A and B are shown apart, each in its own frame.
Chain A
């Protein structure tokens, strides 16, 4: 494999890995704190994308500056996280914490299917594509290959900012310390006066917003179609499982591995393109069944 192929594959893998990282890290965060595997996470991704695209079209129709479509993505992500994520946590998830995992899976899966239909009812089935964010930034040439600045620079940069931001918040702020404490031991932290319900709600909204943000960013470079959430939830499960559920940095490494693995496959063995994420997951789990970055936990009875 020549150096140039490796370099090109790395650039492509970065942008892909960045996209799946944003969704997977939200899933991981929610699992880490709430101990719930949330299938409806894929809906946040899809709805975030649709809302961002709708904002983008409004901006274009109203004649505002197209540059506003970037802040509109952030707005869409937070909006979806608070409204859809918040409502889901308060009305549904709150009742099933600590219940059997099968039940949790079934209930979040049901929520996912309902949200999928809601999305179809609101936005219909015609693919949406708002290419303003993609075309606005133009292209750069790397070794004779044109790359879109949006995919090459914006997506990975945002992913890095999110990763550093999350690390900072969890390690160095009061809120982050409280979240970490609840993750470690809910009962002990409640005894210390932490309102754990509030922490759960806050974390869930943050995780949902991250997925919606992933969707909003994707809406700049991909078609929005019914069923897009299902594809993403499978991939982000693969990332989260490879990393070890609940591992923030692990999710970044796993997303990067899957992104690079896939793009190298397209260059060298295109037949392995589709299976690559799962092949990586399989190999990792074979040697580290709890995921790459998991620490051995003592089971609490």
Chain B
């Protein structure tokens, strides 16, 4: 009896003692990173991992974060949500990860955010895009260092209405899974608000991972819509564009590919000029605002040397997550007389944090959602590159296109006014020849 009571008292004392005081500086900062290393989404996950390895070795080369070296542990998202959640727990509990970076997939982020709350581990949502995460819940331990689907689809609609004001009909071809349907619904909601007379002539949802779009392409040819929207990515987008281009359909309508930036290089000569391309943020390896930026240029070159490909948006998202982590630790340590911050102090450090990855500055709002600028452009063929690059680039400020705190994305997009198209905060960059 006595032993039990003593034990309980001891446990209570330990529990009470740990969280309050600033923690001692650890020997290393273990960061668990979930990313796709298998399956079709590894077209994002593997470049994200390469970026993390490069950037973490850069951080460690200058002494680590507050003098503590960073050690990443990568977890494969491709193994399914259950396996992922148990690996996530294992890395947080047994490997002693102090911070987690989750995930590429929105479904995985939705599954892991409650786990992070359970484990009380700071969790950076580095690449996933579902607006539901912070709109349907309030999480203490998760922050998102990039935009969400609403803030990514709205600029594409704004760009389309601004630059092609005379179109009447639109068709959607989107992957049949949660994100594909969300993206199309939010794009269409925004488009209808900005251009109420638009007519939707087809909503096609081919299978995720489809190998053949013959029927969809035939139908598009028969319908001849003015605009075709395809939010697909990776192999799916490549297959669609290749098959459509082979049949001469890519020039029949104005195509809008909100995730097209990640396929530009792979599509080579199949992607014609005049296609509207989005980049899930202001991510583009030839970003005209960073032509003279040494850090940006040096990274792009090193990434290309290492992997043989130009960096795509998940690479920039990874840079943002790690930059936010560094900035939050620095800020929290400053408020703590330079000492290693506790978990709570670190989480405070993310509130209102302004940081810069490789492109423009991102601000983390009070609801833990990042405000990230968005870049949209139109493809052009230049002799310098064997693939389509972007022209007529427009930058949409994160503060303009992100759903305000406390509102939900779909109803907010539905009540936008067409006047937003000419908002003075939108920056149009002239063609970079």
Contact = CB atoms under 8 A, between A and B. Distances in A.
Interface in B88-136: none
A125 interface: yes
Contact of B205 (A13, A135, A263, A274): A274
Contact of A274 (B43, B176, B211): B176
B176 A266 contact: no
A84 B54 CA distance: 37
Contact of A146 (B39, B206, B221, B270): B221
- Label chain A's interface by main secondary structure: helix
Contact of B209 (A150, A231, A267): A231
B246 interface: yes
A249 interface: no
A144 interface: yes
A290 interface: no
Interface residues of A, number: 46
Contacts of B331: none
B242 A223 contact: yes
Interface in A247-286: 262-263, 266-267, 270-271, 273-274
With most chain A CB atoms within 10 A of its CB, the pick from B205, B236, B246, B267 is B246
With most chain A CB atoms within 10 A of its CB, the pick from B215, B218, B221, B249 is B215
B43 A125 contact: yes
B53 interface: no
Contacts of A145: 218, 221-222
Contact of B43 (A126, A144, A231, A263): A126
A131 interface: yes
Given A127-B238, A226-B39, A221 B243 contact: yes
B426 interface: no
B235 A135 contact: no
A54 interface: no
Interface stretch (A4-12, A62-70, A157-165, A293-301): A4-12
A129 B243 CA distance: 11
A112 to B, nearest CB: 13
B43 A19 contact: no
B162 interface: no
Interface of A: 8-9, 11-13, 15-16, 19, 116-117, 120, 124-127, 129, 131, 134-135, 139, 144-148, 150-151, 218, 221-228, 231-232, 262-263, 266-267, 270-271, 273-274
30 contacts: A12-B218, A117-B38, A120-B38, A120-B42, A124-B46, A125-B45, A125-B46, A126-B43, A126-B309, A127-B235, A127-B266, A129-B266, A134-B242, A135-B246, A139-B248, A144-B221, A146-B249, A147-B218, A148-B243, A150-B246, A221-B242, A221-B243, A225-B43, A225-B235, A227-B40, A263-B215, A270-B203, A273-B204, A273-B206, A274-B207
